[in-house]
Amino acid sequence: MTTLSIFQESRPETPEQVTQNPQEIARLLNEKGIRFEQWATRSLPADASTDAILEAYGDEIARLKQEGGFVTADVVGLTADNPEKEAFRQKFLDEHTHSEDEVRFFVRGQGLFYLHLDQQVYAVLCQQNDLISVPNGTRHWFDMGPEPEFTCIRLFTNPEGWVAEFTGEEIASQLPRYERLAGAA
């Protein structure tokens, strides 16, 4: 189930607030400038092609492109049988920023976004049908877990995609990882 856990930067071991209410999650994230919404499920086979996925969510993608100035959308996914899964996981576990918004819609599976906002960290376990938009310059990281299973639609303003700018901060290593937070959901 989609879950938001809010941690104080000074006490990263235990969340001060946890909610699984989608409206409350959206409200709390929106207060911090983070877009969160849930889209209606589309009936797609597990092996749906990129084109089929983009077509199924075409109206929503067109709306986001118009609202946010996005020029391209693609589909990315990872499965537990991928031999590079640990390398992919490590690539996103350190705090970083981007020069453009990071927009993800979970077509299937789940992943955990950590948003370092002011003196707090908002850990958002996103699942199928969740859309999250992390504004450019927001300090964050992503944990897909040791056995990743997800497919996401991504939107970009730059057709070449985004580049991570690592902050060098240690906060990401101080908070509970996917195994603990997703297991508690």
3 vs 20: CA distance, rounded Å: 5
Q: What is the pTM of this model?
A: 0.95
Mean per-residue pLDDT, 175-180: 96
96 is in an annotated binding site: yes
pLDDT tens sequence across 63-106: 999 999 999 999 999 999 999 999 999 999 999 999 999 999 99
116 is in an annotated binding site: no
Q: Which domains does the chain have, with CATH numbers?
A: 3-184 (2.60.120.10)
